Structure formats: structure tokens, C-alpha cells
Amino acid sequence: MRTADAPAGLGSWPARRARIDPDRPALVEGERTLTHAGLARRTARLAGALAALGVRPGDRVAYLGVNATSVFETFFATWLLGAVAVPLNYRLAGAEIRYMLDDAGASVLVHSPDADALLASARPLPAGVRHLLAVPGEYEEAIAAAEPLAAPPAVGLDAPAILLYTSGTTGRPKAAVLTHGNLTWNTINQLAHVDVLSTDRALCIAPLFHCVGLGQVTLPTLFKGGSVEPLPAFDAGAVLARIAQARITSFSAVPTMLQMMVEHPSWDAVDLGSLHTVLYGGSPVQERVARAWLERGVRVRQGYGMTEASPGVYMVPGEGGTERPVSVGVPHFYTDVAMLRDGEVGPLAGEPAELLVRGPHVFAGYWQRPQETEAVFVDGWFRSGDVLRVADDGWADVVDRVKDVIISGGENIYPAEVEAVLVQLDDVADAAVVGVPDARWGEVGVAYVQPRPGAVPPEAQLRAHMEAHLARFKIPKYVELVDALPRNATGKVRRVELRERAAATVPPEGPA
């Protein structure tokens, strides 16, 4: 029966439409399900507990541990107080954790049992860390004993919400300050590109100390009243099984995760029919991996961004783009982009150049680093550090990082271009190219190639393939097979380690 307010032709439309409902699941963890109303109640009590510990607007509350319901509760309680969340990378060393706690000036540290050994190695903790809340232990006791926060302070869009430490691929990590407005506008940008309903069930695979884990799928899904299931660790087989079992609709990942799922023995048999949104970023996915997902009825969509943009800047639209498998798509709706050429802000189309970004989702600066903040802005535009090539229709391809460009004999060599050619070979799982000093050319390339399991591609084969697809000056002077490429916690190659390795093994003057 059609209800009275249903538009003609839509039948029982009001009964079918998705809506935000406080009794719908918000967070799912194992056998435990927490509704949106339940999450709000626990958040208010945790905020009361933090307030009783002396947390005030602007104070920093750190979290150390794997993805879990308690991470979200800590974030939301911290924000309810007008304080600043500081998620820490649980894959770091104790000294690095101690440095981040000290750098952020955290007064409270919430930690889960998986972080006990890491926390022990980080001691003595900075003097500013006055309170520790262990999950479940003191954490649950504090929630049970606290009165819900009755009068939350006013928190504006320009107030800092979270400190996200850069991955530390070069130098010492620094924290990007994302405001409440940054997170809100990134969510709106995501929803302009991706359809999300309150009936959606998202997996949170990427770690919540990283912008992808927080901003690409997770916050937009919670914003629309859907549910999120945080996973403590990535396991390809477990993720595939969970997609089928829980009828998962969406997740975000890095390319290596997508590849590992494709290569898992259960890939061909698992039911992926519920999936409608799979987003990835960090680097282009290999064409064979994208094709494998497409053959299973799932189109994986690349996005491009950075921590400082909360993170979204570009994304492949829902329709079109299959003929551009490595493109990052078009800019988000509330994002301005331009190019930096010869020190001047200019138009997008033309020769590859450094991308500039501007918008309400661009961060407020680096925590307590005014000089470094000033250095990454030009005329109000954030310097991405990435070289992009933008077509006349606005679609863009990421060429490389500015700092990764190799200048050999006056020619620019973009390692990502060389790497993309190498991974076309079936025997190559991944590749990374870095530069080393050379007496004749200034710099030359060193290619580190990770073969697929059981394969040992001859160097002659690798070189012949590169010669067929690249200009001669782009071909690395040295090629080395490695068991695995060094990666950080989010799957990105740690090029600084490869540069150090190359510097130690290749003589600066080049071969005799």
C-alpha cells in the first residue's frame, strides 16, 4: 500500500528509504554491537571521566592501540570536550612513541592490551602524561563511575580536532593539525563523490592513526547513520570472509591490500556481491589487480590526497574512467586546485608540475612548527609536494613526488613512471626506484624489484621490457632483486631506507 505522502509512482517509498536511526548499529566489534544511541551515551560518560581527570578544551588526549570501538569512543569524547585527539602509530618503536607524546604535550594516554609491550619500551613517559587509562581495565571503570558530561563547551569549526603524525618516511614525524571544520568538509566532499546510506556496513581496515582510516569511508558512514566495523589487523583471508559473512558494503584500503586479497586462495569462491564501494589511495593499483576486482563485479576507485587535506583532493567518479586505469579522477567538490610552475601559481593543464590545493578541508598547519607550516604554503595554496599531469577535461594522473624526482643529465626522471612499467611484468610484484649520485650524470636510478613468489626474473628481461616502454635516459643504471620492499605502517614504500641502501652499496663515482 502506498502511504499518503508518497510521490506518485514510488509505491511504499517512505517505508523503504534509508534514514538515520539512533537504534541502528554504529560500531561492530566481534560479537559486540553498539548502536548510535549507545555510542552517544558511552561517549558522554567517557567525556565526563576525562573532564574529571582535568581534561579541558585544547588539551591533548592520546590513544595507543589497534583499531577498536574504544578508539572511536575516545575520539568522540575528546571532541565533545573541545580537546584534541592524538592517535599514535602502534607499529613504531618505544622511543618514537615517547617523542610523539612529548611533542604533542599529551596529558592523558588511553591504551589497549596489544600496546602493553610497546608502552613498556616507551618508558619513562614524558612528565606531562599524568593519566593512563588501560582498555578495558581503568577505561571501563572510568566510564561506569563517571557522570555524563552535562554541558559540553562550545566547539567551533576552526578548533583543532586531531593531530595526525606524518608517517616519518623522511626525517622526524611532525603532526598535522586538522580542525573540526577540516574533518566536516572532507566528509561532505566524500559524500559528494560516494553514495552512503544508513544501511551501509563499512569495514575500517586502514589504521585510525592514519587519515585514510578515519576520513575516506569511516566518518562519512557514521555521519549518515551507517555502521563501521574496525579491524585490529589486516588479514586478506579474514577480510574476504568477513565481507561475505557480514554483507559488507564498503571499505578503503591501500593497493597492496587489494593485491593480497586477489592473490588469496579464497578469492574465486568468496561472495563479494554486497560490495558497492571500494576506495584506495597511496599509489595506483596494478592493472591486473584492478581487472581482477572488475571481473568479480567490483570497480575499485582510486582517490588522491594527503594528511594535510584531511585527506581527499581527487577521486575517480562513480561512472566512467575505466579507460584511465591509473588516473586519480577529478577534484572533490569543495576543493580548489592549481599548479606551481617556476614559482608562480598557474593553470592545471600543461606540462606536469607540483599540485597546489586550497579549500576548507586543508589543514591549519603543523603542530608547533610555524616555520615548516609557512614553507608549505604559497599565496594561500598548500604545496602538495606531488607532481601531477592534468588533462584538459580535468582528469589527473600522479606523476611522482617532487622530492623523488631524479635529475639525470638535466632530464627529469619520475620513478613512479619507471615502476609502473616494471610491474607490468607478471613476474614482478612491486618495484621502487631511487636516485644515487653519479659523477657523469649527476644522478642515476637504482631499481629495487620485488619478484612475485617463486619467480626470479632475469635482469636482461627487466631491462628489455623497460627499453620497449621507456626512453633510454629513464632506465635505471642499476637493478637489484629484493625479497620485499621496506614499507611503513600504511603500506607506503620507505624510500629513505632504499636511498640509504643505495648510497651504501653504489660508489658515488659510478662503476669503473
420-454 tens-digit pLDDT: 899 999 999 999 999 988 877 878 999 999 999 99
With 60 as the cut, is the pLDDT of residue 11 above it?
no
| pLDDT at residue 412, as a whole number | 76
User: Distance of CA 102 to CAs 59, 94, 96, 159, 504, Å?
Assistant: 13, 12, 10, 21, 33
Query: What number is the average pLDDT over the span 244-268?
Result: 93
Q: Which three cell numbers stand for residue 336?
A: 580548489
* CA–CA distance, 366 with 374 (Å, rounded to integer): 9
Which has more pLDDT, 6 or 411? 411
Task: With a cut of 50, say whether residue 1 has pLDDT above it.
Answer: no
How is residue 111 annotated by DSSP? E
Amino acid 26: pLDDT: 98
Domains of the chain, each with CATH number or no CATH: 25-390 (3.40.50.12780), 405-505 (3.30.300.30)
The cell for 293 is: 576486482
Mean pLDDT within 51-76: 98
The predicted structure's pLDDT at residue 482 = 95
Range among 185-199, 251-265, 281-295 with highest mean pLDDT value: 185-199
What lies within 8 Å, CB to CB, of 373 at 6+ separation is 365, 366
> Closest Cα to residue 232, out of 211, 212, 203?
203
- Taking residues 26-34, what's their average pLDDT? 96
- What is the reported pLDDT for 195? 92
Helix (H) or strand (E) holding 345: strand 344-346
Least confident stretch, 166-175, 293-302, 337-346: 166-175
What are the C-alpha distances in Å from 122 to residues 23, 207, 402, 466, 489? 41, 20, 34, 46, 18
487 vs 489: which has the higher pLDDT = 487
How many C-alpha atoms does 101 have within 13 Å on its Cβ side?
28
Give the tens place of pLDDT for each residue, 66-109: 999 999 999 999 999 999 999 999 988 898 899 999 999 999 99
pLDDT for 10 beyond 50: no
**According to the model, what pLDDT value does residue 169 have?**
41
What pTM value is reported for the model?
Answer: 0.82
Query: What is the structure's pLDDT at 18?
Result: 61
Percentage of the chain exceeding pLDDT 70: 94
pLDDT computed for residue 282 by the predictor: 73
- 510 pLDDT higher than 60: no
- Is-cis flag, bond preceding 136, omega within 30? yes
Model pLDDT, residue 248: 98
Please tell me whether residue 6 adopts helix, strand or coil conformation: coil
pLDDT recorded at residue 508: 60
Using CA atoms, how far apart are residues 222 and 377, in angstroms rounded to an integer?
32
pLDDT given for residue 473 in this prediction: 85
R_g of the chain, CA atoms, integer Å: 24
User: pLDDT class for 407, splitting at 50, 70, 90?
Assistant: confident
Q: Parallel, antiparallel, or unpaired for β 84-88 and 60-64?
A: parallel
Query: Residue 125 is which amino acid?
Result: L
Band of pLDDT at residue 14, cut at 50, 70 and 90: very low
Which pLDDT value is given to residue 171? 55
Helix (H) or strand (E) holding 304: strand 300-305
pLDDT (tens digit per residue) in 350-390: 889 999 999 999 999 999 999 999 999 999 999 998 989 99
How confident is the model over 206-215, as a mean pLDDT? 90
Residue 172: pLDDT band with limits 50, 70, 90: confident
Q: What do you get for the CA distance between the two ends of the chain, in Å?
A: 86
Residue 8 has pLDDT above 50, yes or no: no
8 A C-beta contact, residue 228 and residue 202: yes
Position 168 scores a pLDDT of 45
pLDDT at 12: 38
Reply yes or no on whether the pLDDT at 42 is more than 80. yes
The pLDDT value recorded for residue 308 is 96
Which of residues 161 and 89 earns the better pLDDT score?
A: 161
Q: What is the pLDDT of residue 354?
A: 93
Instruction: Tell me which of 340-344, 402-406, 487-491 is least confident.
Output: 487-491
Share of the chain above pLDDT 90, in %: 72
| Mean residue pLDDT across the chain | 90
Residues in Cβ contact with 417 at an 8 Å cutoff, skipping those fewer than 6 apart? 399, 400, 470, 474
* Residues contacting residue 261 through CB under 8 Å, at least 6 positions apart: 236, 239, 240, 267
Span 314-324, pLDDT tens digits: 999 987 767 77
Q: How far is CA 358 from CA 121, 336, 495, in A?
A: 40, 5, 28
Q: What is the pLDDT of residue 489?
A: 66
pLDDT at 321: 67
Binned at pLDDT 50, 70 and 90, residue 5 comes out as: very low
Q: Are 315 and 279 in contact (CB under 8 A)?
A: yes
